[in-house]
Chain A
Amino acid sequence: MTNIHPALLLICGALLVPFFKGKSKNFFVITLPAAAFYLISTLEPSTSWQVHFFGYDLTFLRVDRLSKIFGYIFTLNAFAAFIYAFYLKDNAQHISALFYIGSALGAVFAGDLVSFYFFWEVMAVSSTFLILARRTKKSMGAGMRYILVHLFGGLCLLAGIVIYISNTGSVVFEAMTEQNLGTWLMLLGVLVNAAAPPFSAWLSDAYPEATVTGGVILSAYTTKTAVYTLIRGFPGWEILILVGCIMTLYGIIYALLENDMRRILAYSIINQVGFMVTGVGIGTVMSLNGAAAHAFAHIIYKALLWMSAGSVLYMTGKSKCTELGGLYKTMPLTLIFGTIGAMAISSFPGTSGFTTKSLIISGSIHEHLFWPWLILEIASAGVFLHAGIKFPYFVFFAKDKGLRPGETNKSMLTAMGFLAFICLFLGVYPKPLYDILPYEMEYYHAYSISHVATQLQLLMFSALVFFLFLALLKRTDTIALDTDWFYRKGGRLFYQVMDKGLNAVNRTFERVFVKEFLVDLTTHVKRLPFAVLAKICWPFWKSAFDAPDKKTINENLLKRAQSGFYPISIIGLFAAIYFGLLFLL
């Protein structure tokens, strides 16, 4: 064990957080990811930290180019996020964030499925506390739903891993080649974390309810660890092209419907992860590199967007587009940084989105995949619509709501400035990123006149549509129903259906059977002897009784029948006939 494990650095660091007071606490948490980043840069491709566990060889530290690129971006983003959180004193948030980021690193560096699964679950649990930490009723509910969905996904993954191990006898985590129940269950579990519809609602439900910094941190790790897992385990699985394409469009449609700015950004995560999932599905070196590069760039500009939204929330206490607007007057720096993030997510030439997403789209072109290519282009246009323009426009411009919050604090601005710089730097000079991509390929030239021109056409005409259709995009104070409806309202509806349905059957049955049928039955049982008797004896009694009419006789008989007083002689006669017959035969 020569290397220090980067995950261990953050997780052990998390345990020390309570011992620091005041600003030293913040400096301490900023140092941790910086140290981990340095540590990762020193790691040579190798496997270490091997432990023999229940007959299997677990590898806690597998270093290769794929795990390293994710290690770099996870620690880089954590560094920026903790600078952003410099104002924050909350031990709970710092500790859960460090556990969360540490276990994401653990999952990325895990060389076997067992330790991978372990870190996967620690991620789910620790991230929940970043949602609960907001301590509102809504965040409590969202946090509980979040963990339940992730437990479901985790169980699918676990079942898949168990089947896989028993099929192959190996715990090594490498590309899955066979399609069977085990690998499909694993894929399902991973896709839950990648926020693929219909298992995506946890993201848009929970992230916007997280704390200001919680949202920034959450936006990076869960979905991108899933992207890493797909690149590692499921490259070239064609189903992922379909899933990814659906995700890109799904995210856009919902982001257009949403009113809450952080919910818009949450849906745009689904949209962006869709690009990466499609890249993994295409499965060529270029598209897999594209997925990794896009994950790298995406983490940065998405964190930047969440930071600018977080600053607005922090300063105004509001996050709905209907309550925001006109903030350009007092938050110009937040606006500028947020807009750089918005340009990057829209892959404007000159930003990191342009130099990374192009790899995926070129990947689809090289494979002559017309429909995926077309959908990715449509989705690229749509990104500019919902994240590139809608978010900055409704928050910082649109109708001035009279909010005059002033610029946000210096540490937040520093973090945003840092990330905005990386967005532009990688847009102009992507070589450092291309150099660390997981698979060997020729140097990719993102900038050609024709590529820049077509991209600008696509984007500017999208912008034109936005402003021409502005009336249709007017914000309303609403939410949009997603698949979480099924477990939020669905449960209640199920109860109502059962109540109205089954209980109605119950009630009808009670009415018909208990109140009517049984009553009728007893009445009939009571009346039966009389009725039979009356039928049989009527000819005899007609003459025997004094009263001439049938009605009076019947009343008489009924009384007798109900009191058990029958004309014994008739019964006696029958009995005599019966016994006589028995005797004779």
Chain B
Amino acid sequence: MKEQGLGETMNNNNESPGFFEKPGTIKLLWVLLYAVCVLTLVPDFFIHRHPHFAYDNYFGFFALLGFVACALLILIAKGFGFFLKKKEDYYDD
């Protein structure tokens, strides 16, 4: 049974693309993302962290950890997806 939404209306095609769909905005967001990533690395030049374990005082350790961890998680999920993903009606009779 499909539930009907309350305010559902279809888009008319004459509408101009929204703010977040404009190529200019998307480009700007990419630049911002890279800029913020670089900015987060800046404190590592100044702060000498009290290292808890051997590794976590290296420059940009957490940036690398975040990047590698997420990349691996996505790839692992993708790999699992090959045999775990099934059509929506898989369990239907």
Contact = CB atoms under 8 A, between A and B. Distances in A.
Interface residues of A, number: 62
B34 to A, nearest CB: 8
A512 interface: no
A453 interface: yes
Contacts of A253: 73, 76-77, 80
Q: Is the interface of B mostly helix, strand, loop or mixed?
A: helix
Contacts of B81: 257, 480
B91 A462 contact: no
A489 to B, nearest CB: 7
A382 B71 CA distance: 9
A466 B87 contact: no
Q: Is the interface of A mostly helix, strand, loop or mixed?
A: helix
Interface stretch (A178-186, A238-246, A468-476, A523-531): A468-476
Contact of A478 (B8, B50, B87): B87
Nearest to A456: B40
Interface string A472-500: 11001111110000001100000000000
Contact of B65 (A326, A378, A453, A464): A378
Interface residues of B, number: 57
B28 interface: no
A350 B86 CA distance: 39
Interface in B14-55: 17-18, 20-21, 30, 33-34, 36-37, 40-41, 43-44, 47, 49-50, 52-53
Nearest to B18: A329
B20 to A, nearest CB: 6
B32 to A, nearest CB: 11
Contacts of B74: 256, 385, 465, 469, 472-473
Given A404-B9, A462-B70, A326 B4 contact: no
Contacts of B9: 404-405
Contacts of A403: 5, 8, 11
Nearest to B42: A453
B10 A328 contact: no
B11 A404 contact: yes
Contacts of B34: 464
